[in-house]
Amino acid sequence: MLIMAHDLEGRAAAALREWAERWGERWQWTAKKGAVELQISQRMTRGLGKCMPEQRVIRLNHVLLDEVNAALLRETWCHELAHQVVFDRYGTGSPPHGRLWGDLMRAAGFEPRVRIPMEQVVGLPKVSRGRGYQYLHQCTGCGKQFVTQRTDRRWRCAACRATGGEGRLIRFRKSA
């Protein structure tokens, strides 16, 4: 099985190749359709890995290379490689975290899990979800107010619309 790791060298690359070879034997899988390219991403902020099976690319978060995240590196690598194997065998017809994927994870010695709690990952930056704004909406008819994280010009006051009113809202953006 060919694993091309352009962004890695030394022990980490050797370990990833060795694990992939071992799992490939257990799964009776060889990369007949071409090498799988491994990329290490400095830009991933919310996830630990991503498999793009049609492009034969697996991207891993750079924080996994830290020694304290060694167990998570191994599990995430297996998780993403299992996606590639399922795609190679069954194409797009199999759910990403379905039974076939789970069977591969168990065969490799891992409990199949879709998400790893981010508290378990050392060095992952805290990323704010959203723009940091809230929106105050006020109905021009009844004066009712409500606050949301996002807004839409088409929104109307449901209470006023129910009684035949226009339900027009005035919006104010405020910092969260």
- Give pLDDT tens digits for 52-96: 999 999 999 999 999 999 999 999 999 999 999 999 999 998 999
Query: Helix or strand or coil: residue 141?
Result: coil
Q: pTM score > 0.75 for this model?
A: no
Q: Is pLDDT at 156 greater than 60 in this prediction?
A: yes
Name 92's Cβ contacts closer than 8 Å, sequence gap at least 6: none
Percent of the chain with pLDDT strictly greater than 70: 91
Q: What pLDDT is stored for residue 11 in this prediction?
A: 79
Q: Is pLDDT at 130 greater than 60 in this prediction?
A: no
- Residue 36 tokens read as 């799988």
- Give pLDDT tens digits for 6-17: 556 677 888 999
DSSP summary character for residue 149:
S
Nearest alpha-carbon partner for 107 in 77, 76, 78, 87: 78
Mean pLDDT, rounded, of the chain: 89
Whole-number Å distance between alpha carbons of 101 and 96: 7
Among all chains, which residue has been given the structure tokens 């694993």?
3
Whole-number Cα distances in Å, 12 to 46, 49, 88, 130: 22, 16, 25, 35
Whole-number Å distance between alpha carbons of 77 and 23: 11
Q: What pLDDT is stored for residue 10 in this prediction?
A: 74
Split at pLDDT 50, 70, 90, the class of 122 is: very high
Q: What pLDDT is stored for residue 90 in this prediction?
A: 94
Q: What pLDDT is stored for residue 22 in this prediction?
A: 95
Specify burial of residue 108 (Cβ count, 10 A radius: 0-12, 13-18, 19+): buried
Among all chains, which residue has been given the structure tokens 């919310």?
46
Residues facing residue 25 across a β-bridge: none
